[in-house]
DNA sequence: ATAATTTTGTGATGTTAATCACATTTCTTA
DNA sequence: TAAGAAATGTGATTAACATCACAAAATTAT
């Protein structure tokens, strides 16, 4: 249902979203990147990477918000919410010919699709670039261990507090924001049912910790949320 | 309590455990690796990497079995059991100056400690080597997403079945083996209490799926285990 | 605008597995 | 080999959530 607007051959040197990993590339390498990518706009709900399909391009998220999700044995699990600027799905692009997880736009996104061969050429030619990529892959994995430990050990209350704190502190950098996902999705993010999410949000509101008007969220008592995050 | 036996300067060309990533290195690079690593023996229970300490070396597991574990908000979580030959803790070595998780020997292990600078030099000089490392980091992360989804979505029965199947199919490649971890550790691996592990193992035994004598385990009905793995 | 669809709120009930308690067995080590 | 420590077995009780059921609200499509 979506029409993707496509811009060919934007100059990466002028791109305000350009990844830090790219900064050290030579002019010639930069030109190669510029010549071998296209910029595409996606709308809320559009699939960017789809689990089970062949992975074809390296994707860089210039702007917007996405969810990384995987089909588990019984239900969909949202692994994480990621915001621009960053590469998307490097592990699934280089780790397997077939995508092992999905990425979906949560709002309007601008993405660069970079030719796989070009990207590999850059890795080959720039030691700095490939080391940056290695480092970011390493950090992703550490993060993912940490997330998994939290998710499985904390009670639902604590996990929900973490989601709200993550939105406020990392994603939106404001205590007032519009929740970009449904309560079903929050459930998928913290491995609980949507009913429990609903009940607990009501509870937070009753306790004066948050104020909600539809999707509009205001964190009133962040200290309480942090305590709940720590002590379940 | 352990005495590490150390061998300096083993020739990596002669090492039967040498990582596939290394195979394409030039003789000169291989010599550099040989000159800048030491081989150390660890005993069951010895810490190899300790969360919170500085990461100093790249470690290659030549032989033996280890557990990768992380201190979660309430308890220890075993992320995975890994066997030789493979690199250990690359993510925590390159992702952060301080180790973000621990690795502990589960039996007698032989490890190569490779100088960090030497390893980075190899990454820099061999495109093939660094691409191999990138690929394996990518695969680790995909695996870790999958493990987390299984752990949080499956019931304890299914997770326990998975552990037994993993030992039989991947780690020991035999349906008869000695469980290398305690029931507490099995609990830490599948996020459940040791009591539940004990009860469920008894149940498996009662149902004629396994036979246990102390740590000695025999899988009698693998089909049943696979069904339990799938259907909880 | 209005119908259709999706999302959310909330009560009642049931299940899984945690926790507590204590006995028993197995492993360590002096 | 005996004593101490660690690991395991098993029952009783309880807590956290899932699930079911349905109503209400909000969003989207026609």
CB B149 to CB A77 under 8 A? Answer: yes
Residue A135: its chain B contacts at CB < 8 A?
94-95
Q: Give the CATH fold of the B6-149 domain.
A: Jelly Rolls (2.60.120)
Cβ-contact A172, A83 below 8 angstroms: no
Joined tokens for residue A203:
């509870």
Of the candidates A77, A205, A82, the residue with the CA atom closest to the CA atom of residue A140? A82
Distance CA A47, CA A136 (A): 24
A87 vs B8, more confident: A87
Tell me the CATH number for domain A153-231.
1.10.10.10
| Distance CA B159 to C1' D25 in A | 40
Q: Which residue is nearest to nucleotide C18 (CA to C1')?
A: B193
CB < 8 Å from B in window 19-58 of A: none
Q: What is the mean pLDDT of chain A?
A: 92
- pLDDT tens digits for B41-52? 999 999 999 999
Q: Are B95 and B14 in contact (CB under 8 A)?
A: no
What residues of chain B score a pLDDT lower than 50? Answer: 1-3
**CATH homologous superfamily, domain A6-138:** Jelly Rolls (2.60.120.10)
Q: How far apart are CA A139 and CA A162, in angstroms?
A: 19
Which residues have a Cβ under 8 Å from the Cβ of A203 and sit 6 or more positions away?
none
Q: What pLDDT is attached to residue B136? A: 94
Q: Indicate the Cα dihedral angle A105, A110, A115, A120, nearest 10°.
A: -80
Domain ranges of chain B: 6-149, 154-231
Which of B51, B70, B72, B158 to probe by mutation at the A interface, max A CB count within 10 Å? Answer: B72
- pLDDT tens digit string along A20-77? 777 778 888 888 888 888 999 999 999 999 999 999 899 999 999 999 999 999 999 9
With a CB-CB cutoff of 8 Å, which residues 50-109 of chain A face chain B? 70-75, 77, 79, 90-96, 100-101
* B150/A96 CB distance under 8 A: no
* Correct CATH for B154-231 of 1.10.10.10, 3.30.413.10, 3.40.50.1820, 1.10.420.10: 1.10.10.10
Protein residue minimizing CA–C1' distance to C16:
B155
How many Å from the CA of A176 to C1' of D4? 59
């Amino acid at each position: 249902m979506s029409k993707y607007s496509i811009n060919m051959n934007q100059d990466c040197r002028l791109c305000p979203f350009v990844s830090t990993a790219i900064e050290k590339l030579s002019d010639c390498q930069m030109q190669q990147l510029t010549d071998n990518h296209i910029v595409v706009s996606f709308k809320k709900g559009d699939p960017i990477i789809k689990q089970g399909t062949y992975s074809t391009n390296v994707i860089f998220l210039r702007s917007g918000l996405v969810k990384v999700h995987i089909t588990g044995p019984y239900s969909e699990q949202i692994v994480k919410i990621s915001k621009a600027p960053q590469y998307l799905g490097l592990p699934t692009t280089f780790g397997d010919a077939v995508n092992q997880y999905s990425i979906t736009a949560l709002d309007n996104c601008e993405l660069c699709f970079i030719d796989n061969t070009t990207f590999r050429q850059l890795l080959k030619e720039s030691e700095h670039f490939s080391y940056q990529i290695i480092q970011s892959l390493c950090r992703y994995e550490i993060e993912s261990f940490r997330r998994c430990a939290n998710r499985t050990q904390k009670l639902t209350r604590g996990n929900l507090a973490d989601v709200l704190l993550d939105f406020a502190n990392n994603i939106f950098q404001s205590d007032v924001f519009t929740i970009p996902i449904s309560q079903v999705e929050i459930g998928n993010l913290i491995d609980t049912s949507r009913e429990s999410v609903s009940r607990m949000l009501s509870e937070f509101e009753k306790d004066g910790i948050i104020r909600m008007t539809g999707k509009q969220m205001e964190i009133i008592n962040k200290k309480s949320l942090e305590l709940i995050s720590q002590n379940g």
